[in-house]
Amino acid sequence: MPVPIIIDCDPGHDDALAIMLAAGDPAVDLLAITTVAGNQTLDKTTLNARRVCTVAGITDVPIAAGCGRPLVQALSVAEDVHGVSGLDGPMFPEPTVDVVPEHAVDLIHRMLNGHPEPVTLVPTAPLTNIALLLTRFPQDASRIREIVLMGGSTERGNRTPAAEFNILTDPEAADIVFRSGVPVTMCGLNVTHQALATPEVVARFEGLGTPLGDMCAELLTFFASTYRTLWGFPHPPLHDPVAVARVIDPGLVHCVDANVVVELHGRYTRGATVVDLLRDVDRPVNARVAVGLETDRFWDRMIAAVTALGARTPRERG
Ligand code: BDR
Ligand code: CA
């Protein structure tokens, strides 16, 4: 049976492909897509989710907008990485998929309680919506099978030397999630930096011969340009689909058990995920932490999902 999941995202180039992976892979049942402020403001990330669903032919999955700012601090977006729109690169048609008139947290709450089995949450963005859910509806914790998130790192950060963007954008929310008692799997930069969209990968998307394959190639080409300029990466890392891949096939993303705490006060380290890989301290294990990726199989799965979705949106030949 496919695993029921909800993606909470801030599209975002890699979020866009995470949505496609979740919608196009038969191992998961995508119940809903919720949006949050992160890579861009909430209006833009929500518009982008609608754009992605429109071009990918995902018309049967509700989209709900959530929190427009982090729990405590001001929002700081990643325009330098994802552009002014949050999804710069391709030209998108006017979206035909709309949002539902419900706050993301209410939609997740309703879905968790309406589904016959516990649901897996896959946050690929700041954890504001998820923290609010756990705070407003603490009893919902028992309805969540697992939270498999993209965020943090066992090593260095990407927005500061110590902190990764999703955690740094809302450290208080991340702290709530890691201390919630819900099983958490953390797919951090140490693993997502193995999912590099090389020219060969981009060529595979182009080679699909579908508008959606071309769209993915254009997204990755823009993403490559900012990663090259900002950080000197030879190829851009496709962070967010790694979390989806972990749910699709746990063997794709190798994990170890560890204690993870979020640094809230460090003058230079706020937002860092402190991961006790060597069991140096006596804090209890509260997370599975991704440490390795089956890269080739990951890309095969990603391409297969876009192939399946692309078959729903036949190429307009002209
Ligand atoms: C994370 O930050 C965002 O820019 C990406 O979408 C990803 O979720 C990587 O640090
Ligand atoms: Ca994201």
Shortest-distance atom of ligand 1 to CA 165: 10
Residue 132 confidence (pLDDT): 98
Q: Is residue 317 part of a domain?
A: no
Q: Is residue 170 part of a domain?
A: yes
Q: Is 115 a catalytic residue?
A: no
Are residues 21 and 30 in contact, defined by beta-carbon separation less than 8 angstroms?
A: no
How close is the Cα of 76 to the center of ligand 1, in Å?
13
Residue 312 clears pLDDT 90, i.e. is over it: no
How close is the Cα of 317 to the center of ligand 2, in Å?
33
Domain extent, residue 55, equals 3-312
Segment 237-255 mean pLDDT: 98
Q: Is residue 318 part of a domain?
A: no
pLDDT tens-digit map of 71-80: 999 999 999 9
How close is the Cα of 166 to the center of ligand 1, in Å?
6
Q: Is residue 38 part of a domain?
A: yes
Closest CA to 166 of 131, 195, 119, 118: 131
pLDDT tens-digit map of 114-140: 999 999 999 999 999 999 999 999 999
Q: How many structural domains compose the chain?
A: 1
Q: Is residue 111 part of a domain?
A: yes
Segment 289-316 mean pLDDT: 89
Residue 314 confidence (pLDDT): 46
Residue 311 confidence (pLDDT): 85
The model's confidence at residue 313, banded by pLDDT at 50, 70 and 90, is low
Q: Is residue 97 part of a domain?
A: yes
CATH of the domain at 276: 3.90.245.10
Q: Return the best residue to mutate from 36, 81, 150, 230 for the ligand 1 pocket (most ligand atoms within 8 A of CB).
A: 150
